[in-house]
Amino acid sequence: MKTMELVFLLIFFPVTLSVKHSLKFSDTASSGVKNFPDFVVVGLVDEVPLGYCDSISKLPEFKQDWSQKLIEEDPQQLEIYTQECLSSQYKYKDHIDILKQQLNQTEGVHIFQRMSGCEWDDETGEVNGFLQFGFDGEDFIAFDLKTLTWIAPKPQAVITKHKRDRERPNNVIWNYFLTQQCPDLLKRYLDYGKSSLLRTELPSVSLLQKTPSSPVSCHATGFYPHRAMMFWRKDGEELHEDVEHGEILPNHDGSFQMSVDLNLSSVTPEDWRRYECVFHLSGVRDDIVTKLDKAVIRTNCEFPAGPVIGGVVGLLLLAVCITGVFIWRRKDNGERQTYFYSS
């Protein structure tokens, strides 16, 4: 294809970038932890809390206007959420007791969690489901959707793997939930929450430096969704050395922030012009490129304290529900399945 033809197509027929959306359910159970619920479950759509329930409140709470509207228009979902919230806390207690006996760890504090859900590519239609369990901060067992069998990363989980492999009907049900029902739910939630979930907000990007000898931080704040990446490059090539990437943090207004630091201790002033910071937001074709220029660097601790503090607080609150620690939970034969989340 000739160059001018390619330019014409890019101008009048812009490239549509695919975006992966996700629906996750995080169930956490604890034993021996004081002043904390024995059971917590949270549902998230694209990392945004959909609803929450714990063993203290015993009733689901819906965190978004659109999720509350969905429940009002479909009371059956509220009934399903409520039944699962009430029944799961008792089942979790039995499961964690069995697991402690199996591992001969009956004393002390124990935490285990199940993370289940799916991802859907809105351009290709590709679906990926996942189901993982862990115990006391370590991976314990995970479901293989291709073989409908279980993977045990450690010897202590082999007994559980064999038991679950024999429960073929339950594995088939899990496969159907993760590859069929979960994506259907995700699409429905995205439709209800499209005004907020599917919005795109570009950030303001600043170069920050605490002292003249400190690394230069490229800081982006106010972007949405959270699916973003940022990096430094030199002469058009991404840098990996002398670079430190920060985590994506939530702001108090529902947007996100992130930063990436560049150590310039070995860079001469003449070479600064060869460096630039690149911010990329999923689904957006054009990146935000910021040249390394001493004249635009904010110094004297001019970091945006408000958004940063808000982001840290938001992250800590969200961490109560999403620990990232996957744990095993025994599944009894014949227990009821729902299209929300099954035990």
Q: What is the percent of the chain where pLDDT is above 90?
A: 52
Out of 12-16, 53-57, 221-225, 260-264, pick the least confident: 12-16
Give me the pLDDT at residue 85, please.
Answer: 84
Give me the pLDDT at residue 207, please.
Answer: 97
Phi, psi for residue 203 in degrees, rounded to 5: -90, 170
Cα separation, 206 vs 219, in Å, equals 5
Out of 126-130, 235-239, 245-249, 282-286, pick the least confident: 282-286
Is the CA virtual torsion 160, 163, 169, 172 positive or negative? positive
Tell me how many helices (H) and strands (E) the chain has.
8, 17
Residues 6+ apart with CB under 8 A from 205: 218, 219, 220, 277, 279, 288, 290
pLDDT tens digits, one per residue of 78-136: 888 888 888 877 787 777 887 888 777 878 888 888 999 999 998 899 999 999 998 88
Over range 233-258, report the average pLDDT: 94
To the nearest whole number, what is the mean pLDDT of the chain? 82
3-class secondary structure, 97: helix
Going by pLDDT thresholds of 50, 70 and 90, the confidence category of residue 18 is low
Domains with residue ranges and CATH for the chain: 19-195 (3.30.500.10), 204-318 (2.60.40.10)
3-class secondary structure, 245: strand
Sheet of 48-54, strands arranged across: 61-62, 48-54, 39-45, 20-31, 110-121, 127-135, 138-144, 149-151
Cα separation, 254 vs 223, in Å, equals 9
Give me the pLDDT at residue 301, please.
Answer: 52
Going by pLDDT thresholds of 50, 70 and 90, the confidence category of residue 323 is very low
pTM over 0.85? The answer is no
pLDDT exceeds cutoff 90 at 289: yes
pLDDT exceeds cutoff 80 at 293: yes
pLDDT exceeds cutoff 90 at 307: no
Going by pLDDT thresholds of 50, 70 and 90, the confidence category of residue 154 is confident
